[in-house]
Amino acid sequence: MAQPGKVTMETTVLTGQTLSFEANPFQVPTKEAARHLAHGAVAIQAGKIVATGPADEVLASHPHARRIDHGQHLILPGFIDAHAHYPQTGIIASWGKRLIDWLNTYTFPEEMRFSDPDYAAEIADLYLDLCLANGITTACSFATIHSESVTALFDAAQGRDLRLLTGKVMMDRNAPDGLRDTAQSGYDDSKRLLERWHGTDRLSYVITPRFAPTSTPEQLEAAGALWSEHPQCLMQTHLSEQTEEIAWMKDLFPDDTDYLGVYERFGLTGPGAVFGHSIHLTDRETDHLKASGSAIAHCPTSNTFIGSGLFDMRAAQSARIPTGLATDVGGGSSFSMLRTMAAAYEVSQLRGTTLHPAQLIWLATTGSAEALRLADRIGTLKPGIEADLCILDLASTPVITQRAARAETVWEALFPTIMMGDDRAIAQVYIEGTPVPLSFWS
Ligand code: GUN
Ligand code: ZN
């Protein structure tokens, strides 16, 4: 009999529709890139996928497995949010400001509260519940300048067996009293947290200078030094989100060629660097993102909500820059990765590029996993990959149901859920093959 806390070798087979990717659907035709099975199955053992394929074949090769039938629901890899700010949960959807005023009016006062470990723990719990309710099984989140905020989120994720990435925000200027560290303390606190948490269970530490305008050159240098000492960690920050921000950056760093050039000077570009937004890029910046092996986190609900601009997905994909999808909660206006995919679709439409549903789902799963250098662990349905799964109901509301009823292909059936779906479409979430109790998030 299974013992609590012990990994069992019992096999579970989930049946339903399955969808996963063999290749990037921006680079190869959808038919070759995506694998959809109307009667598919995923076999899971000890928290990992051990087989996928047609349901009859997988069931025949696992005759003693426990079967869970998801009927017509779609079994997907769990969604991966490549860039978020868990401390901004409480101020999501705050009205009427562009980036710099939004930070000063709403964000910084709220982030100030995270010196209190009890408040940080309360919001960390709420944040992860909201992620799970929306099918997000891994998030890469900024914390605040306070070490307590990192500890709270790692503790909460560890308690739920989640794969999670976060880091202490480094910010030593252009922020209010009580919300600044120093080049030295930012380095020391980050190093201590990194050594405590990175690689513990499913947790990863991310070196997190907020963005060039809130760090002195000395702090960016310290962040670069820390990263060079710990290249196994990701480095996350913001890049070229809004025009006023870029003008501000130019005043602060007049001798650098461009925004990315600032990060480059301090050793903050390269494999494992994840740049949120990256909207108003020069050709040189696009070339350097590509050449350096850096990644982008596309944050479409944030970009429309804060009025930042229209990300050029076509340029990013043509340059083959690893690109993931992100909520950017709480500059982003939704926890839903479906809503985030819908916004990505709309932003690309406004740029004259039509994204296929396969490309949208890929961005929210494999694309984000690649951007976070986790594609060997999460983000697809393949043997050896961790069994973090999202089960999608393609008929979750009356309007979606009547639209999907006309579908002749899986893509036509899926697209109404992408455009109009919300947390009601998330029928079930599995973490390492274990269903998260429904009561957990309802
Ligand atoms: N740039 C620097 N900090 C932030 C933040 O918290 N949110 C967004 N959207 N952009 C930023
Ligand atoms: Zn952000």
pLDDT over 60 at 2, yes or no: no
pLDDT digits (tens, 9 = 90+) for 328-358: 999 999 999 999 999 999 999 999 999 999 9
Q: Strand pairing of 48-54 and 234-239? A: unpaired
Whole-angstrom Cα distance, residue 170 to residue 220?
A: 9
Cα 144 → chain centroid: 18
pLDDT for 386: 98
- Measured in Å, residue 26 CA sits from the centre of ligand 2 at 25
Q: Determine if ligand 1 sits within 6 Å of the CB of residue 285.
A: no
User: What is the band of 9 on the pLDDT scale with cuts at 50, 70, 90?
Assistant: confident
H helical segments located in 179-230: 183-197, 217-229
Phi and psi, residue 298, nearest 5°: -85, 125
Q: Determine if ligand 1 sits within 6 Å of the CB of residue 370.
A: no
Q: Determine if ligand 1 sits within 6 Å of the CB of residue 85.
A: yes
Environment class of 161 (CB within 10 Å of its CB; exposed 0-12, middle 13-18, buried 19+): middle
pLDDT over 80 at 98, yes or no: yes
pLDDT over 70 at 177, yes or no: yes
pLDDT digits (tens, 9 = 90+) for 52-91: 999 999 999 999 999 999 999 999 999 999 999 999 999 9
| Residue 327 or residue 438, greater confidence | 327
pTM above 0.95, yes or no: yes
Query: Which of 436, 382, 380, 389 has the alpha carbon at shortest distance from 49?
Result: 382
pLDDT over 50 at 6, yes or no: no
**Angstrom distances, CA of residue 36 to CA of 40, 273, 324, 358:** 8, 32, 21, 10
Element (H, E) at 152: helix 147-159
pLDDT over 90 at 442, yes or no: no
First-to-final CA distance of the chain:
30
pLDDT for 8: 59
- For atom 3 of ligand 1, the residue with the nearest CA is 210
pLDDT over 60 at 371, yes or no: yes
pLDDT for 440: 57
pLDDT digits (tens, 9 = 90+) for 274-317: 999 999 999 999 999 999 999 999 999 999 999 999 999 999 99
Can you count the helices (H) and strands (E) in the chain?
19, 16
pLDDT digits (tens, 9 = 90+) for 412-434: 999 999 999 999 999 999 999 99
The percent of residues above 90 in pLDDT, for the chain, comes to 97
Q: Determine if ligand 1 sits within 6 Å of the CB of residue 331.
A: yes
- Measured in Å, residue 331 CA sits from the centre of ligand 1 at 7
pLDDT for 149: 98
Phi-psi label, residue 217: left if phi above 0, alpha if psi -120 to 50, beta otherwise: alpha
User: What is the band of 439 on the pLDDT scale with cuts at 50, 70, 90?
Assistant: low
* Span of 3-17, 18-32, 244-258, 386-400 with lowest mean pLDDT: 3-17
- For atom 9 of ligand 1, the residue with the nearest CA is 331
Question: What token pair was written down for 199?
Answer: 């690689």
Whole-angstrom Cα distance, residue 5 to residue 44?
A: 17
Ligand sitting nearest the alpha carbon of 144: 1
